[in-house]
Amino acid sequence: MTPIGRRDFLAQLALATAAVSVSHAAFSTASRADESIETETAYGRIRGIRKDGVNLFKGIPYAGRTSGDRRFRRAAPLEPWTGVRDALQVGPPAIQAPRRNEPAPSEDCLFLNVWTPANDNRKRPVMFYSHGGGFVIGSGASASQDGSNLARNFDVVVVETNHRLGLLGFLYLDELGGSEYAGSGNMGMLDITTGLKWVHDNIARFGGDPDNVMIWGESGGGAKTSCLYAMPEAAPYFNKASIESGPGVRMTPKEVAAETTAMLLKELNIAPKDWRKLLDVPAADLLTIQGKLPFVPPFQEKNRNQGMMRRNYGGFGPVVDGVVLPHHPFDPTAPAISRNKPLLVGWNEDEYTFFAWERKDTEFAKLDFEGLQKKLELPYGADAGKIVAAYRKANPNASAPDLYVAVSSITMMGLGSVDIAEKKVKQGGAPVYLYNFGYKSEKKIPGTDYAMGTPHAMDISFKFNNEIPPRDGSEPKESFFGGNRPERFTASRHFAELWTTFARTGKPAAKEVPTWPAYTLKTRPTMRIDAQCEVINNRFSEELALWRSVGKL
Kindly list the catalytic residues: 219
Ordered DSSP codes for 202-251: HGGGGTEEEEEEEEEEETHHHHHHHHHTT-TTTGGG-SEEEEES------
3-class state of residue 311 by DSSP:
helix
CB 544 within 8 A of CB 418: yes
Peptide bond into 282 cis (omega under 30): no
Q: Determine phi and psi for 187, rounding to 5 degrees.
A: -60, -35
Ordered DSSP codes for 97-139: S--TTSPPP-S---EEEEEES-SS---EEEEEEE--STTTS--
CB 137 within 8 A of CB 102: no
Cα(161)–Cα(459) distance, integer angstroms:
19
CB 213 within 8 A of CB 239: yes
Cα(177)–Cα(166) distance, integer angstroms:
19
Q: Which of 264, 218, 228, 227 is nearest to 249 (CA)?
A: 227
Sequence-distant (≥ 6) Cβ neighbours of residue 530 within 8 angstroms: 437, 438, 439, 440, 491, 494
CB 434 within 8 A of CB 421: yes
CB 116 within 8 A of CB 54: yes
